[in-house]
């Protein structure tokens, strides 16, 4: 993570959160014209913001604005992360923005080490934890159930791959590596 406008305990801006979220899925963008009147092509994060908007991950604050220098809330971070990872419809079925997204973030194990309410300002340290959790989470399959008109859900972990492993080819291990076998495998 780069150094942002503030220190570790300072709030994250909406444009900084867009940068982190785009990088979470490996997007490498360049400055560009965006659909938002307040995000010009000169903005260092314009490519990230437009990339996320093109995916439907962000939609601005209304009136064609994004408010890039405004502070991001935990609920906003939950929505961006859940959407970019492909669990947005699941969050909508859980009640939508913001609490449905916060609940899904928690169900996925992505809020580990972060205990904020949906409307709390997100600080740099907590944003880094969320991104780390997202990169190292197990990729889950989702299943919906309905009983007596109530929506239920089951998250099935049929893979032990993480986003780091699947998208970036990076392996994540918990434990201590005692040695590396002749075939290159780790022995824990």
| Residue 26: per-residue pLDDT | 86
What was the pLDDT predicted at 46?
97
Average pLDDT, the chain: 81
Quickly state the pLDDT bin for 13 (edges 50, 70, 90). very high
**Contact indicator for 8, 124 with CB cutoff of 8 Å:** yes
pTM of the shown model: 0.77
The token duo for 1 is: 């993570």
- Helix or strand holding residue 30 (H, E): none
107 vs 125: CA distance, rounded Å:
21
pLDDT digits (tens, 9 = 90+) for 50-101: 999 999 999 999 999 999 999 999 999 999 999 998 888 889 988 999 999 9
pLDDT computed for residue 7 by the predictor: 79
């Amino acid at each position: 993570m780069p150094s942002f406008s503030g220190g570790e305990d300072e709030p994250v801006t909406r444009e900084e959160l867009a940068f982190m979220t785009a990088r979470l899925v490996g997007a490498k963008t360049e400055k560009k014209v965006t659909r938002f009147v307040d995000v010009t092509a000169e903005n260092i994060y314009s490519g990230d913001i437009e990339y996320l908007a093109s995916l439907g991950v962000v939609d601005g604050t209304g009136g064609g604005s994004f408010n890039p220098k405004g502070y991001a809330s935990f609920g906003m971070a939950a929505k961006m992360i859940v959407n970019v990872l492909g669990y947005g419809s699941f969050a909508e079925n859980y009640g939508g923005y913001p609490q449905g997204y916060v609940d899904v973030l928690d169900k996925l194990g992505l809020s580990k080490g972060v205990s904020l309410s949906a409307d709390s300002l997100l600080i740099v340290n907590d944003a880094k934890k969320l991104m780390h959790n997202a990169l190292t989470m197990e990729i889950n399959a989702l299943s919906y159930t309905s009983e007596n008109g109530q929506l239920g859900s089951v998250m099935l972990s049929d893979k032990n791959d993480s986003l780091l492993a699947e998208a970036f080819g990076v392996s994540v291990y918990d434990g201590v590596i005692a040695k590396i076998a002749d075939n290159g495998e780790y022995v824990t």
